[in-house]
Amino acid sequence: MSQDTVNAKTTIEAAGRISRSALPSRLFAIAKHGFSILLTFVGLTAITFIIGRVMPADPVLAIVGDRASNEVYEAMRLQLGLDKPLIQQYLIYLSNILQGDFGTSIMTTRPVLDDIIRFFPATLELATIATIFGVFLGIPMGVLAAVNQGRLIDHVIRIIGLFGYSVPIFWLGMVALLIFYAGLGWLPGPGRIAVYYDGIVEARSGIILLDSALQGEWEIFWNALHHLVLPASMLATFALAYIARMTRSFMLDQLNQEYILTARVKGLSEGAVIWRHAFRNVLVQLITIIGLTYASLLEGSVLTETIFAWPGIGQYITTSLFNADMNAVIGGTVVVGICFVGVNVLSDILYRIVDPRSHD
Amino acid sequence: MTDQPTETGLKEWLLSDTPQSVAQARCQRLYLAWLSFSANPIAMLGLTIIVVLVGMAAAAPLLTGGDGTEQALANRLQPPSIAHWFGTDELGRDIYDRIVWGARITLYIVGLVAIIVVPIGLLVGTVAGYVGGWVDIILMRVTDIFLAFPRLILALAFVAVLGPGLENAVLAIALTTWSPFARISRAETLTIRNAEHILAARVQGASTARIIVHHVTPLCLSSVIVRLTLDMAGIILVAAGLGFLGLGAQPPLPEWGAMISTGRQYMLDQWWVATIPGLAILIVSMGFNLLGDGLRDVLDPRSGGTS
C-alpha cells in the first residue's frame, strides 16, 4: 500500500513538472494552430474568389447581360472594382466577407447573407438529427462488430457499412419515398412541415422542432418530426457507416491492449470490460470522428434537400446555380466552407480538452 | 493431365525460397499478393464486379442492339419484359442498352479523374516530402486548404463557372480529389527519404528529380493505389450527383445519374426508369469499395485489416 502511495505521489509531481515546463510550448502550439486556421480561411476565400471573379470569362457580362449599353457595362465594371489589380480586388472581397457582405442575390434581390440566415436553420436541423441517428446506431454497431471480430455479425455490419458508403443518397431517398410515402403511407412526403401548419409557429430560431416545442405547439412538433424521419435517415446512412467503421477499428485497438487482459483477469464481467474500460477510451477518439461526420453532413445534405424539397442551404445553392446567381452560389459556398472548417476546429479543441494524453 | 507437371513446375518456380533472378522475385511477390488477395471472398466479389463493368463497357456494341440513344416513342415507359429486360424510358429507349453504354461513361469519368489526380498528388507529395523546408510548408498548406473544403459544394461551384458538361464535371471532381493523394505520398516519402538506397543513389550523383521519379515515387504507389480504389466509389457518387443535378453529362448521353434524374418524374408509376440506374451505381461503387478494402489488406500490411 505504501509503495502505491509513493508511486502516486511521484507521478503527481512528475505531472506537475511536465505541465509547468510545457506551458510555453502549449501556447506556441495554440498560436500555431490559430495561424493554420487563419491560413485555411484565407485559402478558402482565395479559392472562392478565383471561382467567382477570375474564372468567368467576363463577370460584368454575366451580371448586366449582353444587351447592356457601354455606359452600363463600364459602370458595373467600376462598381465591381475590376479596374483594380487582382490582389487589391481580393483584399476588398475579403474585407467585405469579414463584414458579412456577400453581395446581393439576383434571384431574391436580398443580401445573400440574409438569405443564408433564412435557409441555414433547415439544414442545421436536418444534419443534427441525422448525426444523432448516426451516432446512436453507428457506435453500438461498431462495438458489436469489434467484440465479435471475424464472426457472422461482424461481416453483416461490414456489409451494411459498405452499403452506406456506396449508395447514391438521392436515389435511396427516392426509393424510400416510393416505399414509405407513396406505397405504405407511413410517413409524410417531401417538405419540412404539412402545408396547413405552414407559418403558424413564429420562426424564432428557424429550427421548427425548437420553435414549436418552445411555443408548446406539440401537434406541429410531431408533424415536423415525422417529416424529418425520412430525409434524416437517408443522410444518416453515410454517418452510420463511417462512425460504425471507425468505432470498430478504435475498439479493436483497445481490446488488444494489456489493461483489458488485466481487467478480465480481475474477473470483471465482459460488459464492464467492454463499456467501462475499452469504450471509455474510444469515446474520446470518437469526438473527432463525430465532428467530421457532422461537418460533412452539413455539406452532404445538398442532394437530400433536392429530393425532399427541404428549404435548406443546399437547395439555396443549387437553385441559385440554375439561375446563374453567382453571388448566392459563392456566398453559400463560403459559408458552408467556414462551417465545415469551424466544426472540425471545434471538435479538435474539444478533443484536446477531454483527452489528457494530447496535452504533452 | 499433360499440363500437370508444368503447372506444378510453375508453382514451384513461383514459390521457391531462392529466386534466381529479379524477374522471378517480382513474379513471386505478385503471386503471393494474389494468393492472399484471392483468399479474401469480399475482395474477390469486388474484383468480379469491376471486371464485369469493364467487360460490359468494352463489349457494349456486342451486348446491345444499338447505342442506347435510339428513340421509339411508341414503346415508351414499357415495364421490364423479355424484349426489354429493364423496361424502356420516357423516350422509348431500352434501359438495359443505356445501362451497358453508361458503363463506358462511368469508366471514362473515373479513369480521367485518376489520370489527372494521381500524378498531381504524387508530384506535390513527393516533392514536398523529399525537398522539405519552405517548399514542404507551402505545398502542404495548399493541400490542407483543398482538404478542408467540402467536396461536392466545391465541385458545384466549379461547374457553375465552367458550365455543365462531362469534361467540366471531371475537372471539378479532379480539383477536389487530388489533395489526399498528396498527403499520402508525402507521408510515404518522409518514411523513406533517409533510407539507405536513397542515400546510395544520392552519393552516386543522381539529381533530386531523378531520385524523386525513379526511387521515391515507385515506393509511394501502393498506398496511392489503395487510396485511389477506395476513392473511386466517392468519385462515382459525386459524378452521379452532378449528373443528377443536370451539371454532368448532358442528354442524350446515357449517364446513370442523369438517368435517375429523368426517371424521377415517373417514379410513382414507372419505378424502373429511376430504380435500375441507381442499382447500377450502387453495385459499381460497392464493387470499388470491396476491392479497395481487399487491396488494403494485401498491399498495406500495417493496417492489419482492422480498419
- For chain A, positions 80-119, list CB contacts with chain B under 8 A: none
What is the average pLDDT value for chain A, to the nearest integer? 81
Same domain, A59 and A185: no
Residues A203, A258 share a domain: yes
pLDDT digits (tens, 9 = 90+) for A35-44: 878 888 888 8
- Contact between B266 and B90 under an 8 Å Cβ cutoff? The reply is yes
Instruction: Provide the terminal-to-terminal Cα distance of chain B, rounded to the nearest Å.
Output: 44
Alpha-carbon gap: B234 to the closest alpha carbon of chain A (Å):
8
Chain A interface includes B245 (CB < 8 A): yes
Rounded CA-CA distance B9/B11 in Å is: 5
Position A3 scores a pLDDT of: 46
Q: Which of A70-84, A175-189, A232-246, B57-71 is predicted most confidently?
A: A232-246
Taking only residues 186 to 215 of chain B, the set having a beta carbon closer than 8 angstroms to any beta carbon of chain A reads none
Stronger pLDDT, A237 or B11, i.e. the higher one: A237
Is residue A46, in this structure, part of any structural domain at all?
yes
Does A276 share its domain with A317?
yes
Q: Quick one: A154 and A81 in the same domain? A: no
Is A104 part of a structural domain of the chain?
no
pLDDT higher than 50, residue B23: yes
pLDDT for res B195? 85
Question: What residue type is A126 in one-letter code?
Answer: L
- A117 and A92 share a domain? no
Q: Which of B145, B147, B236 should we substitute to test contact with A (largest number of A Cβ atoms within 10 Å)? A: B145
The minimal CB distance from B282 to the residues A168, A253, A321 is found for A168
One domain for residues A75 and A139:
no
Q: Is A73 on the interface with B (CB under 8 A)?
A: no
> How many angstroms separate the CA of residue B240 from the nearest CA in chain A?
8
- In chain A, the number of structural domains is 2
Model pLDDT, residue A21: 52
How does the average pLDDT of chain B come out, rounded? 84
The pLDDT, as a whole number, for residue B108 is: 92
Nearest one of B255, B247, B245 to B98, comparing CA atoms: B255
- Structural domain boundaries, residue A66: 3-98
B40 touches chain A (CB under 8 A): no
Task: Report pLDDT for B300.
Answer: 59
A with B: how many residue pairs have Cβ under 8 Å apart?
142
Q: Do B153 and A296 touch (CB under 8 A)?
A: no
| pLDDT surpassing 70 at residue A281 | yes
User: Each residue of A46-71: pLDDT tens digit?
Assistant: 888 888 777 766 667 766 767 778 88
pLDDT for position A75: 81
All residues of chain B having their beta carbon less than 8 Å from the beta carbon of residue A102 are none
Alpha carbon distance B267, A181 (integer Å): 12
Say if residue B61 is preceded by a cis peptide, omega within 30 of 0: no
How many Å lie between the alpha carbon of A153 and the closest alpha carbon of chain B?
Answer: 15
Asked if residue A269 is part of any domain, the answer here is yes
ipTM computed for the complex? 0.82
Find chain A residues with C-beta within 8 A of B150's C-beta.
295-296, 298-299, 336-337, 340
Answer yes or no: is A311 within a domain.
Answer: yes
DSSP per-residue codes, A288-309: HHHHHHHHHHHHHHHHHHHHTT
Contacts of B161 in chain A (CB under 8 A): 51-52, 55-56, 326
Say what the pLDDT of residue B301 is.
52
CB–CB of B257 and A168 under 8 A?
yes
Q: Does some domain include residue A105?
A: no
A148 touches chain B (CB under 8 A): no
Q: What pTM, to 2 d.p., does this model score?
A: 0.83
pLDDT band at A190 (very low <50, low <70, confident <90, very high): confident
pLDDT(B9) > 90: no
For residue B225, the Cα-to-chain-centroid distance in whole angstroms is 9
Q: Any idea which residue has 456566398 for its cell? A: A331
* CATH number, residue A168: 1.10.3720.10
Q: What is the pLDDT of residues B172-222, one digit of tens each?
A: 899 889 999 999 999 889 888 888 888 898 889 888 889 888 888 888 888
User: Does A154 lie in the same domain as A69?
Assistant: no
A337 within a domain of the structure (yes/no): yes
pLDDT band at A259 (very low <50, low <70, confident <90, very high): confident
Which of A37, A66, A98 is the endpoint of a domain?
Answer: A98
Question: What does the pLDDT average to over A168-179?
Answer: 89
Q: What is the pLDDT of residue A5?
A: 47
Per residue, the 3-state secondary structure of B133-159, as one string, reads HHHHHHHHHHHHHHHHCCHHHHHHHHH
Residues of chain B in contact with residue A293, where contact means CB-CB under 8 angstroms, are none
Residues of A in contact with B245 (CB under 8 A): 303, 306, 318
Q: Does A255 lie in the same domain as A123?
A: yes
What local confidence, expressed as pLDDT, does residue B3 receive? 46
Whole-number Å distance between alpha carbons of B193 and A247: 33
- Residues A344, B285: C-beta atoms closer than 8 Å: no
Distance CA A225, CA A208 (A): 9
In the listed set A45, A70, A98, which residue is the last one of a domain according to the structure?
A98
The whole-angstrom separation of Cα B250 and Cα B24 is 49
**Domain C-terminal end among A47, A74, A98:** A98
Output the DSSP codes for A76-106: HHHHHTTTS-HHHHHHHHHHHHHTT---B-T
Confidence of residue B6 (pLDDT cuts 50, 70, 90): low
Q: Tell me, yes or no, whether A211 and A295 share the same domain.
A: yes
The predicted-structure confidence for B223-279, as pLDDT tens digits, reads as follows 888 889 888 988 999 999 999 888 888 888 888 888 888 888 887 788 888 889 999
* Predicted pLDDT of residue B281: 93
- Cα B34–Cα B214–Cα B178 angle in degrees, nearest 5: 75
Nearest chain B residue to A342, by CA: B148
Task: Identify whether residues A189 and A322 lie together within a single domain.
Answer: yes
pLDDT band, residue A2 (cuts 50/70/90)? very low
Is the same domain home to A156 and A297? yes
Whether the CA torsion A68, A69, A72, A78 is positive or negative: it is positive
- The answer to the question of residue A106 being in a domain is no
CB A174 to CB B267 under 8 A?
yes
CB contact under 8 A, B153 and A317: yes
Contact A161, A181 (CB under 8 A): no
Q: Pick from A149, A167, A170, A327 the residue to mutate for testing the B interface (most B CBs within 10 Å).
A: A170
* Residue A251 forms part of a structural domain: yes
Alpha-carbon distances, residue B122 vs A43, A189, B181 (angstroms): 21, 47, 7
Indicate if A91 and A199 belong to the same structural domain.
no
